[in-house]
Structure 1
Amino acid sequence: MSSSDRPRLARHVRLTFCRTRQRQVLQLPETVVVLNGSGADILQLCDGRHTVAEIVSELGARYQTVPDEEVRQFLTRLVARRWVEFDDG
């Protein structure tokens, strides 16, 4: 994954707020994944417009420190599960 890659949610995945859990969740076919705060923040920026570098920078502006490698590892795991993909454009 390069800094210029533009991640986005896969077509079969939706990020939504669950009122019952009072948290952001990923909705997949037959699965719901409850996200922690930082995971939800990363995925809200995975819109195909923001690059990986821009996501890290935006999170760094919101919080004191954001480990670049942790963001990359999180995205790599989601790409491996086919929940996140890279925009072709």
Structure 2
Amino acid sequence: MTDALIQPQDIPYLPRGVWLADDKVRGLRVLQAPERAMQLDQIGDAILSELDGNRSMGQICADLAARYNAPVEQIAGDVRDFLTGLVARRMVFLRDPS
């Protein structure tokens, strides 16, 4: 599913062995996986903090748009672009609710 666009009904989640962590030494948030880590900016942290494995991409984007008072279409594009890269790196998985 890495070549397909993430659909609004897809449920993004962090797979087993991938987690968000605080790097207390550097004062950063990081996405960690076995033998790799990715430093997050505030936007990446905000997006990944929403992944609970229950809510769909559409619900997450609507919640972020409301929180940041931004157009849902803009938020959805940014979230989709960010997560597509992580899906390709196998740091985020997608589940179809059906």
Question: TM-score scaled by structure 2?
Answer: 0.81
Q: Is the 8 A contact 2:10 2:96 kept in 1?
A: no
The match for 2:7 among 2, 7, 27 is 2
**Runs of at least 5 residues in structure 1 that lack an aligned partner in the other structure:** none
Does 1:87 find its partner at 2:95? yes
Give aligned-pair identity as a percent: 39
Q: How many residues align?
A: 89
Taking only aligned residues, the RMSD between alpha carbons, in angstroms, comes to 1.5
Q: Is the 8 A contact 2:18 2:91 kept in 1?
A: yes
Write the letter of the residue equivalent to 2:57: V
1:88 Cα deviation after fit: 5.5
Q: Provide the C-alpha distance between the structure 1 equivalents of 2:67 and 2:25, rounded to a whole number of angstroms.
A: 26
- The ranges of structure 1 where at least 4 consecutive aligned residues each deviate by more than 3 angstroms after the TM superposition are none
| Pairing 1:1-89 to 2, within 5 Å after superposition | 1-65=6-70, 67=74, 68-87=76-95
**Runs of at least 5 residues in structure 2 that lack an aligned partner in the other structure:** 1-5
Task: State which drifts further: 10-19 or 76-85.
Answer: 10-19
Residues 58-82 of structure 1, C-alpha deviation per residue, up to 9 Å, x if partnerless? 1112212152111111111110110
| SS of 2:21 mapped into structure 1 | strand
1:21 Cα deviation after fit: 2.1
Residues 35-79 of structure 1, C-alpha deviation per residue, up to 9 Å, x if partnerless? 001101111111211110111111112212152111111111110
Write the letter of the residue equivalent to 1:70: D
